[in-house]
Amino acid sequence: MQDGADTPMRVEIRGGRILWPDGTIEEGSLAIEGGRIAGPTRATGFSAFRVIDARGLLVLPGIVDLHGDAFERQIMPRPGVEVSLGVALQETDLQVVGNGITTAFHAITWSWEPGLRGREMAHRLKETLTDMRGRLSADTHIHLRHETFNLDAVDEILEWLEEGSIRLLAFNDHTPHIHKLLGHPAKLQKYADRAKMTLGHFEALIADVWARRSEVPDSIRRLARAAAEARVAAASHDDTSAAQRVSFHQMGCSISEFPMTEDAAAKARDLGDPIVLGAPNVMRGGSHNGAISAAPMVAKGMCQVLASDYYYPSLLHAAFRLAREGVLPFAKAWGLISANPASAAGMTDRGMIRPGARADFVLVDDEQPALPRVAATIVAGRPVFQANRLLVSGF
């Protein structure tokens, strides 16, 4: 059945176990109209054009992923092998919704390095995402990871903020680490390869960038002020100390993304700043690079948000593992990937199942608690993914 041109789409999710904002899970049905949650159908006498059969499934708020950069591997599946951005982002979108992510922040790194993380790629990604806006199933946004030594990009980033192209701005500072590798050609070679430069030219580039380091603090303050004026959420990345977190907090960067030390995370907690850690860290039981382990940080109240980082399936599995191992009740564990990231990004219209909110859902088959899987994903009331049995009727 085709929806009338003047008639809002009406959908009913029937018979699922619904996670409500108070943390309870109860079997019931939900009405959706015009992409919004209208409420429980038992209270509305709702007549649906489309019915989604959720019997035996959990009905959960859609996942909000504040930091995902696995799309880079779709762009460059092997070192030096690049595919069409349209193809890469379309494939990424399939992976995103297939893993229950309804709001995706693509973490685009804009560095002083040319290549995959350089100016040309940042512009191409922005333009391609803009052109594909009506084709992508997930509600997709740009999380711009600004390398703070990338001083030549500051004016352009200010323009992006003003025009509304950025939804989350993060301040990265990997340059000191790369600069320390001067004199160690074997360790520096991978960065030269990533930038598609000879080692000698890359070493000269680092020296030029490092020579301008005194200009970096003022540029950070300028961008942080512009983000606040544009009401764009801002984050510091890899905080190493409590003092560093205080400094960014005072500039209006309220999110602490992947703090490197417990001191930095503790200060963020004390300041009331959301702390973002990696879901792969939780899913795997520890960090892949020797950083702090995420699950104990969750238990200590020093993690409010989990992000997919480099692996989209990790969000679903991390939340279930935290609940399965008794680190958090399930509702609070799910909040780390739904309500909390939505709140941190200033998205007050999603993250919880309540009347008036966006109808973003993931239906999960939890018959095997250690191996939950996405049965269907719904974005703004529209089914965009389903696995195995037919769940949607009434088309």
Q: Mind listing the pLDDT tens digit of every residue in the chain (395 residues)?
A: 334 444 456 889 999 999 999 999 999 999 999 999 998 876 445 566 788 999 999 999 999 999 999 999 999 888 778 899 999 999 999 999 999 999 999 999 999 999 889 999 999 999 999 999 999 999 999 999 999 999 999 999 999 999 999 999 999 999 999 999 999 999 999 899 888 899 999 999 999 999 999 999 999 999 999 999 999 999 999 999 999 999 999 999 999 999 999 999 999 999 999 999 999 999 998 776 667 789 999 999 999 999 999 999 999 999 999 999 999 999 999 999 999 999 999 999 999 999 999 999 999 999 998 999 999 999 999 999 999 766 766 54
Domain count, the chain: 2
Predicted confidence at residue 1, as pLDDT, reads: 31
Predicted confidence at residue 389, as pLDDT, reads: 65
The dihedral through the CA atoms of 93, 72, 307, 294 has a sign that is: positive
Does residue 1 sit within a domain?
A: no
**CATH code for the domain in which residue 318 is found:** 3.20.20.140
Does residue 257 sit within a domain?
A: yes
Range of the domain at 52: 10-61+353-393
| Amino acid letter, residue 167 | R
Same domain, residue pair 84 and 46: no
Predicted confidence at residue 41, as pLDDT, reads: 77
Does residue 2 sit within a domain?
A: no
Same domain, residue pair 301 and 319: yes
Same domain, residue pair 81 and 24: no
Predicted confidence at residue 46, as pLDDT, reads: 57
Predicted confidence at residue 6, as pLDDT, reads: 41
**Which of 327, 344, 361 corresponds to the end of one domain?**
344
Does residue 259 sit within a domain?
A: yes
Same domain, residue pair 236 and 163: yes
Same domain, residue pair 200 and 167: yes
Three-class HEC string of the chain: CCCCCCCCCEEEEEEEEEECCCCCEEEEEEEEECCEEEEEHHHCCCCCCEEEECCCCEEEECEEEEEECCHHHHHCCECCECCCHHHHHHHHHHHHHHCCEEEEEEEEEECCCCCCCCHHHHHHHHHHHHHCCCCCCCEEEEEEEEECCCHHHHHHHHHHHHHCCCCEEEEECCHHHHHHCCCCHHHHHHHHHHCCCCHHHHHHHHHHHHCCHHHHHHHHHHHHHHHHHCCCEEEEECCCCHHHHHHHHHCCCCEEECCCCHHHHHHHHHHCCCEEEEHHHHHHCCCCCCCCCHHHHHHCCCCCEEECECCCCHHHHHHHHHHHCCCCCHHHHHHCCCHHHHHHCCCCCCCCCCCCCECCEEEEECCCCCCCEEEEEEECCEEEEECCCCCEECC
Predicted confidence at residue 329, as pLDDT, reads: 97
Predicted confidence at residue 289, as pLDDT, reads: 67
Its pTM stands at: 0.93
Same domain, residue pair 301 and 338: yes
Same domain, residue pair 131 and 189: yes
Does residue 384 sit within a domain?
A: yes
Same domain, residue pair 86 and 172: yes
Same domain, residue pair 73 and 50: no
Q: What is the distance between the alpha carbons of residues 26 and 332, in angstroms, rounded to a whole number?
A: 16
Predicted confidence at residue 268, as pLDDT, reads: 97
Same domain, residue pair 366 and 330: no
**CATH code for the domain in which residue 28 is found:** 2.30.40.10
Short-list 273, 330, 260, CA closest to 304: 273
Same domain, residue pair 16 and 117: no
Predicted confidence at residue 285, as pLDDT, reads: 87
Same domain, residue pair 15 and 35: yes
Expressed in angstroms, the distance from the first to the final Cα of the chain is 5
